[in-house]
Every structure is written in C-alpha cells, then in structure tokens.
Amino acid sequence: MILTSIIPIVLLLLIIVAIYKMVNVIKKVPFLQKLNLKWMLSIYGVLLLVAVGLFYVLPNERPSNKIVDNQDELVKVENARRLLTMAASEGKQISKENIEGVEIKNHWDFTYEEKQLDVTILDDQLGTLFTLVERKNVNDKRVEVMQYHTRTIIENLDITDDIPPLTLELVEGELTIRNTHSVDIHFGKFDKEFTITQFTEEKGIEDSFIDEDHIWGENVLYIRVPKDVNVEGDFQFVTQ
C-alpha cells in the first residue's frame, strides 16, 4: 500500500529531473530556443504538479459491490445455497434450520379473511422458485410471506444488493408472484493474449464466465396461512 503511494511521487520527480535536463539542453541550442520549448516544458511540468495534487485531493471512488476473493467465504456462500435448497426440497421450516448465510430478502403481511387462497407465479423466470406453505395452528386472519435468499457472487463481485425482491399482490383470494423489478447487469473483463495464457494457468476471456466461476443465489418463498384456509397452486407444504 505504501509502495503504491510512493511510486507516483518517484515518477513525478524523475519527470521533473528530465525536464530540467532538457531545459539545459535547450539553452545551448539556439534553434530550439526560438521554438519556445522552454516555456512549453515549464507549463507541462506545472500541469503535472497540478494533476498530482488533484489526484490526492479528489475522493477515491470505490465500487459499491463488495469484492469477495477469499476462498473460505466463497465456500460458505455455496454451502448456504446448497443447504437452503435441501431444506426447501425436504419441506422444512427454514427459520428453524438456522442456516448461516441465509437471510430474509423481504417480508409481507396481509390481512386475509377468505377460506380459499390461490398461489400463482406469473413470471416464467420464476419457474424454479421454491415455494413452501406452512399451515398455522390458529385462524389469525393473517397471511405472512418471507422471501429467503442467499448471496449472488459473479466474478468475485457480490451483486446481492443489486437484485431487487419479488413483487407480491394479494387480491380477491389470489396471491400473485412476479419478478417485475428485474435488472440487467453487464460485466466486462480484460483479457491477456493467448501467447501469454497458453504458458500460464490463467483463464482466457472465453473461459471466464462459465458456471463454476459463479455462485447464483437461491430464493425460497415461505408462506404462512391461517389454519382453515384451503391453498391451491404450485407449492409444497411444510412437513417438518
């Protein structure tokens, strides 16, 4: 870190020395004096000094996404995704599993007095969404929904916060689930020439975006309904 801060200063000093040497050469050559190169180099040196000053004065902008380059942390994220998927497929109560790395993305609470509830997923992209329904022991006239999720990391960037929660509406006995706030995220990457990468273990750009380099977050929609409400739709009842 200290070395990185010193390098620009050393380079600036070298440039100043070079300018000083050139000015001395210009003084000895009449032809170059007529071109006013001395003034040009002086102005250039001043601009360099101003640029260095601005470099240290201006705030250092950092990407909002968290960089994850620790292999142990990546393993924990992948384990959380796997355990959440397993718990959902086995119909377990997610909150009682206490899976490290699983958080609530959003929470909804609806007043509901009907006897029938239809659960409908209106987005084809959500076809693989795990949807669990837990029947309460009481008729409290409340439908509670939690969206559990794990982190999404692409090319060592944590983009979890860039992914908005699902959109839910409960109207006339139908709970509709949409992904209305989907976003496009574009990634770019510099690539080294094949003449270099063929002798190293580094991946080329064509291999950079394969699935094994990514950890896609898992989402589970967990719905709690009153005791006597009949539920229809594509979901799985909580059995454990």
Residue 2 has a pLDDT of 54
> Band of the pLDDT at 41, cuts 50, 70, 90?
low
Q: What percent of the chain has pLDDT over 70?
A: 66
Average pLDDT, the chain: 79
Residue 151 has a pLDDT of 95
Q: Is 138 exposed, middle or buried (0-12, 13-18, 19+ CB in 10 A)?
A: exposed
> Band of the pLDDT at 10, cuts 50, 70, 90?
confident
**Which residue did the predictor score with more confidence, 92 or 57?**
92
pLDDT tens per residue, range 155-205: 888 999 988 999 999 999 999 999 877 677 776 665 555 544 554 555 554
Q: Which of 12, 73, 75 is nearest to 46 (CA)?
A: 12
Integer Cα distance of 201 and 196 in angstroms: 10
> Band of the pLDDT at 39, cuts 50, 70, 90?
low
**Which residue did the predictor score with more confidence, 126 or 194?**
126
pLDDT tens per residue, range 84-115: 999 999 999 999 999 999 999 999 999 999 99
CA distances from 34 to 22, 30, 38, 44, 137 (A): 15, 7, 10, 18, 96
Residue 83 has a pLDDT of 96
**Which residue did the predictor score with more confidence, 226 or 39?**
226
Across residues 11-21, what is the average pLDDT?
Answer: 72
Residue 51 has a pLDDT of 72
Residue 210 has a pLDDT of 44
So where are the chain's domains? Answer: 2-57, 66-237
Query: Taking 50 as the threshold, does the pLDDT of residue 215 lie above it?
Result: yes
Across residues 33-40, what is the average pLDDT?
Answer: 59
User: What backbone torsions phi and psi does residue 46 show, to the nearest 5 degrees?
Assistant: -65, -45
pTM greater than the 0.75 cutoff:
no
Strands (E), 150-216: 153-154, 157-158, 167-171, 174-178, 214-215
Query: Taking 70 as the threshold, does the pLDDT of residue 78 lie above it?
Result: yes
Query: Taking 70 as the threshold, does the pLDDT of residue 32 lie above it?
Result: no
Residue 145 has a pLDDT of 97
